[in-house]
Structure 1
């Protein structure tokens, strides 16, 4: 019996398939009969394929069989990859694809004219929050695929951006979903920590995928702060808001304390839906105090619920004007003594920096090559002038060359329509 060994992989077995789980976050299903067939065709043997304790074995002593099967799996992995948390097909973006990492909102890098750079290595989420602004998670009705960006390619583009933006940068790991489903999460933090232009590394997270081992790894890699999305301290209400019956509030609260104990600062970041969880504001403040959150930065970042065109907008949500929301925060400051609750960029060391120059202007018509499908129906991604353009309302296919009218360029996110 010979073991088929692949790095950062474990195996599971279903009735007809061998499931490969790569770096805990991605998977691919290989038909067991097909694996047996390719071995029979190549070696004229009929070995049994066995999965045991997360490892893959071939019941034969024929030399070279395990290497041949390992190569076959690696060569076919890309086409079969799926997100372990959403179940959606994954497009793995690497240098050989020559896909720009500036211009699109779901992956890559985003510059909003400050010393903070948003770093998005992955799309997708393990939760389905009822107020999600981008309709993410396992129960999404609009998102049809996910992206993962190779870490070396991501860092290559980050280096180019950092040279333009200068020193004293904050690299903020966020995304349309949960950054911890990125398969190279620890390695990314380590690479950013070693970058000479990066001073602060922060991350947005719902905390559910954290465990003691991962917390220690992130701390050792150099993560400075986690903006932790906790929206209720009541277990049942939290499950409702997070959209998952499996949501374990107690675990997330334990991980919040573990982060602080490991030397990673925590900012508790609830989305406040008035009439639903605004009455928990003081409890959030007390919890933040209890665990010692906010050592270098504010301990809390209350967010006002805002409906979005392509998000989930629950009927339970009451929309409150921001003027009223900020008055509510100031009243909380006076009542609890917790300051600041009305947050400013200066609280995070954010400062204005010159934007990465825009390469398109609104109304301009450009020739572009369609390089990737988009995340929603009728959306494709095209490239021109080394930038991505989100082309909406199109029936174009990958490989097509089309004319695109640019309709939006805000913060270097380019949106266009086919002419």
Structure 2
């Protein structure tokens, strides 16, 4: 009897499908019959295959079968890899692909002219918040593909950016979605903690994928702060806002407290939709006080709901001008004594730093090579001058050499149209 389990993974059985769950957030499916046929062709035997307690059980004592099945599964892993939560195909980006990690806003690194560098190792989300600015999650209607960047390759680019930006950096782990979907999140924090240019490591999260073990691992790795997205303290309203019927608010609240107890600072970050959850502001403040959030940084970061062109903009959400929003925050400060609620960069130790020089000028036409499909219909990713360019409204294919007119360069994120 063979009991097979691959590193950082476990198996599940779904009817006639054997599913490999790799590093919690990625999956690959194999038909039970195809595994049985492969074994039969190779060894002229027909063993029974099943899953028990995360192990793949193969009814044979032939050790060569174990080696063969492990090789078979790993050999086809790249083609079958999908995001466990969005079910979208994964493109795994590694050094051998020579894909630049500056220029695109969905993965890689983003420099917005401060000492904070956004670090995006993956795309995708486990929730489908009804106000999501990028239409992420399992119910997305626009996102067709997910990416994962190899941690060593991500750190190679971060090292170059850090040397350009100088010491005293904050590495902020965020995503177009949920950063905890990144399969190497603990290793990434460890690598950043040992980097001589990094002073603070922070992360956005909705908290759903946290558990006691992962909280301890992140604390030991050196994570300093989590900006925790909690949008209601009412379980049913929270499910509605998060767009998921199985959203467990109590678990997230427990994890908020676990983070604080582990020595990781917490900032509660609700998106406020007036008429929906603004009446919970004082309850958020009380919760933050009770768990001891905000020891080194502000305890709360209320955000004003803003509609976005490619986001989900529910009918119930009525935007409020920022002037009114800030007046509301100042009123809360006076009423509750919780300060600061009107947040400024200096509250987080952020200050201006020179941008990494732009590789392109707006309006410029450049020759570029298409290297990856994009995340949306009609979008491809091209590279030129060691930067990525999001090419929109194009029918180009990977490998094509095209001319691109640069239409956006803000914060070193490049968008272009094919000429």
TM-score, normalised relative to structure 1:
0.99
Matched, 1:349 2:317: no
**1:181 Cα deviation from its structure 2 partner:** 1.0
In the other structure, the counterpart of 2:98 is: 98
Provide Cα deviations, 1:276-326, integer angstroms capped at 9, x if missing partner: 111111111111111111100001001000000000001111111111111
- Find the aligned partners of 1:62 and 1:273 in 2 and give their Cα distance: 61
Q: Number of paired residues?
A: 419
In the other structure, the counterpart of 1:240 is: 240
- Partner SS, residue 64 of structure 1: helix
**1:44 Cα deviation from its structure 2 partner:** 2.1
**1:245 Cα deviation from its structure 2 partner:** 0.9
In the other structure, the counterpart of 1:37 is: 37
In the other structure, the counterpart of 1:223 is: 223
Matched, 1:28 2:41: no
Segment of structure 1 superposing worse, 133-142 or 44-53: 44-53
- Find the aligned partners of 1:293 and 1:4 in 2 and give their Cα distance: 43
Matched, 1:12 2:46: no
Alignment of 1:5-404 (within 5 A): 5-404=5-404
**1:57 Cα deviation from its structure 2 partner:** 2.4
**1:201 Cα deviation from its structure 2 partner:** 0.3
- Partner SS, residue 405 of structure 2: strand
Contact 1:4 1:67 in 2 (8 A): no
Provide Cα deviations, 1:319-359, integer angstroms capped at 9, x if missing partner: 11111111111111111111111100000000111111110
Contact 2:2 2:63 in 1 (8 A): no
- Find the aligned partners of 1:245 and 1:50 in 2 and give their Cα distance: 31
In the other structure, the counterpart of 2:407 is: 407
RMSD (Å) for aligned C-alpha atoms: 0.9
- Find the aligned partners of 1:204 and 1:20 in 2 and give their Cα distance: 27
- Find the aligned partners of 1:128 and 1:39 in 2 and give their Cα distance: 41
- Find the aligned partners of 1:39 and 1:384 in 2 and give their Cα distance: 46
**1:96 Cα deviation from its structure 2 partner:** 1.1
In the other structure, the counterpart of 1:416 is: 416
Provide Cα deviations, 1:33-60, integer angstroms capped at 9, x if missing partner: 1112222222222222221111012222
- Find the aligned partners of 1:229 and 1:245 in 2 and give their Cα distance: 17
TM-score, normalised relative to structure 2:
0.99
**1:137 Cα deviation from its structure 2 partner:** 0.5
**1:373 Cα deviation from its structure 2 partner:** 0.8
Contact 2:28 2:77 in 1 (8 A): yes
Gaps of 5+ in 2: none
Structure 1 residues 358 and 39: CA distance shift in structure 2, 3 A: same
- Find the aligned partners of 1:227 and 1:295 in 2 and give their Cα distance: 13
- Find the aligned partners of 1:3 and 1:278 in 2 and give their Cα distance: 53
